[in-house]
Amino acid sequence: MKKIIVKNKFVSWGGSSKVEDEAGNALYEVKGHAFSWTRRKTLRDLSGNVLYKIRNKWPTFIMHSAYITDGSGNTVCRVKETLKFNHFFTVDETRDDIQITGYISQGLQVVRNGVLIGTIRKDFWKLRDYFVLEYPDMQDPAFLIALTIAIDNIGDKNKSSST
């Protein structure tokens, strides 16, 4: 299994994140948009190609959700929070069967069409949002990173709506 670290920057107008391997080498770029009501973020490769766009549904009053689109703007899926206190998530509006199980502190297992594509674990001991992703060698981690950003957006939306 390979590991990727997704961590929010300490100072960022739009909620940008760093995506690095274990050695600290940059792998992808996540750019947030400063004046976005839906917490819109863009996942790009290091050449600047847009891989995914992630944004929250707006307006949301109870259970929050986020949409993932590809670089052309086609909807890939919607990630929904199904149980607020334990952070359970479901994925719908997709061509694939995507299941997310587990707890974010211990590791969410992400299965696409019956194949484990990786785990997402949030490290609560860090001073900022810090996620550790593990995935098999044969998997492309970009979609797993997009799911992580969507889950983080939902968590951020929960924090802002509870204050």
Residue pLDDT, tens place only, 134-158: 999 877 899 999 999 998 888 764 4
Coil vs helix vs strand at 13: coil
Run of H or E including 143: helix 142-161
Phi, psi of 11 (to 5 degrees): -120, 115
Q: What is the pLDDT of residues 54-91, one digit of tens each?
A: 987 665 556 678 899 999 989 899 998 876 555 578 89
pLDDT for the residue 113: 93
Residue count of the chain? 163
- Whether the CB-CB separation of 119 and 134 falls below 8 Å is answered with yes
User: In this model, does residue 15 exceed pLDDT 70?
Assistant: no
pLDDT digits (tens, 9 = 90+) for 99-131: 998 887 788 999 999 999 999 998 877 766 789
Q: Is the omega angle on the peptide bond into residue 59 within 30 degrees of 0, that is, cis?
A: yes
Angle subtended at Cα 53 by Cα 96 and Cα 9, rounded to the nearest 5 degrees = 120
Residue 84 is predicted with a pLDDT of 55
Instruction: Give the predicted TM-score (pTM) of the model.
Output: 0.85
DSSP state of 58: S
